[in-house]
Structure 1
Amino acid sequence: MTDDRILDKFDWRILDAVQQDGRLSLAALSDQVGLSKTPCQIRLKRLEEDGYITGYHARLNMRKVRKNYVVFIQVKLEATSRRHLEQFNKAVRKIDVIQSCHMMAGGFDYLLKVRCRNMEEYRMILTDDINDLPGVYQTATFPVMEEVKRAVGVDFSNQL
């Protein structure tokens, strides 16, 4: 993977198109970015190989799959030495119900996003999984009342 490659407008257009719709056919992608199929396919493959594209995913209807209850959890650790952080990071990666984990600067150490069925299931996750993570000193839970916006990707308009 090379991080120093300069992307041109066609690369940015490809990235923008596939982040919006990963199921675009090569023909549709070629038309959308303004390249013929072969150069478009070569660029797409290179973007994948260089790690700019790390996968293709479907967006699921969380209500239909009964995972529409979302909570954010602030986590404070007992200590934040390298060893403590690495232990926490390793352990949190093993808990599938944690959708995202971000190390934070400020009044707490981590922000977790958990998606589950309901408050009852979340309470079990908190007591059985999150509070058992190494070094957890304190947690604060913030249930989501309504998801107002969920972006598909990032804005590349200044690169296009």
Structure 2
Amino acid sequence: MKGENAVTELDRIDRAMLVALQQDGRMPVAKLAERVGLSETPCARRLKRLESDGYIDGYRAILSRKALELGVVAFAQVRFSVHDRALSDRFEREIQGIERIVSCHNISGTADYLLQIVARDLDEYGVFMRDVLRTLPGVTAVESMLSLRELKRDSGLPVP
């Protein structure tokens, strides 16, 4: 499946480049070229094409929760009692600006949304639940699940 703007099919070298960049997005073009068996210029051209075709959304640093003292990772299932498009739109707009919510998915099943939330400790998470999450538009029920231990962190997407 191609990205929204993707126009080219991926070959073996494109796939190898994407895998390598997911492991190290700051890899210099020279090192990337060596890893995939190209010279620098064709590698740089391919990289620009992968970016412009929408296969690469962007680059970012992976921060340490421990260093930032964010000891709690919680997953919250959020339910609405009224399923109104305008209410859902307001909820979705408001969560975009809440830094503690690191991901949000509109899901199927008994809940409407699944949020991943970080906090310094359980006290801070409790205050966040009471003062922020439960006051968001449309929210009528929240069920929290606390992560006891992270076994695998986002390691990138599989590249077919």
Q: Structure 1 length as normaliser, TM-score?
A: 0.91
Q: 1:118 aligns with which of 113, 117, 121?
A: 121
Quick one: percent identity of the two aligned structures?
39
Equivalence map 1:80-95=2 (5 Å):
80-95=83-98
* CA RMSD across the alignment: 1.4
Equivalent runs, 1:13-92 vs 2, <5 Å: 13-92=16-95
Shift of 1:5: 2.4
Question: For residues 44-81 of structure 1, what are the alpha-carbon distances to aligned partners after superposition, in whole Å with 9 as ceiling and x for unaligned?
Answer: 11212222212212222211110131010010012223
Whole-Å separation in 2 of the counterparts to 1:84 and 1:4: 36
Structure 2 counterpart of 1:44, one-letter code: L
Secondary structure at the counterpart of residue 131 of structure 1: helix
Unpaired segments ≥5 residues, structure 1: none
Inter-partner Cα distance in structure 2 for 1:60 and 1:111: 22
Task: State the partner residue of 2:147.
Answer: 144
Name stretches of at least 5 consecutive residues in structure 2 with no aligned partner. Answer: none
Q: Which amino acid aligns with 1:122?
A: Y
Counting matched residue pairs gives: 157
| TM-score after normalising by structure 2 | 0.91
Runs of 4 or more, structure 1, over 3 Å off, are: none
What is the deviation of 1:4?
A: 4.0
Q: Which moved more, 1:86-95 or 1:76-85?
A: 76-85
Which letter does structure 1 place at the counterpart of 2:152? K
The one-letter code sitting in structure 2 at the alignment partner of 1:36 is S
* 2:149 is aligned with 1:154: no
